Amino acid sequence: MKLIAAISAFLFTALATIFGVNIGAVQAELWPTFLPILLFVSGTSFVLGITFGSAAMWVTTFSGGLALFILWLPLQQYATKEPLLRSAIALLCIILAQAPLFVVGGVVRTRVAARVCGA
């Protein structure tokens, strides 16, 4: 289950990042690109939290963060002219937004399962 969660997080986080970059109004600047990526990755993390629960949270956060890091380097090199420190802060904010949304998704999954089984 954790292997499937890791592969899913890697692939879906990468897709969410690509969609966020494409939706971004100005792709040559960091912050207008950062916000759509944050929204897409956060939504994806929430859905993955519902799908896999909080048991797979650490492996999905690590795999999603790895996918973000791999995709962020070309974005930093070719698209934005922001300093590396600002780009690193933006990347860290996105990765830190993943973990709470995985937890919230896991809590939602647990509560829905408890209501379905209890009803």
pLDDT digits (tens, 9 = 90+) for 47-62: 988 888 877 777 888 8
Spatial distance between the Cα atoms of 116 and 111, rounded to a whole number of angstroms: 9
Dihedral sign for Cα atoms in the order 69, 18, 85, 39: negative
Residue 112: domain span: 2-118
> How many independent structural domains does the chain possess?
1
pLDDT in tens, 98-119: 888 888 888 898 899 899 887 6
Measure Cα distances from 96 to 25, 46, 115 in Å: 24, 13, 30
Spatial distance between the Cα atoms of 61 and 114, rounded to a whole number of angstroms: 25
Q: What is the pTM of this model?
A: 0.80
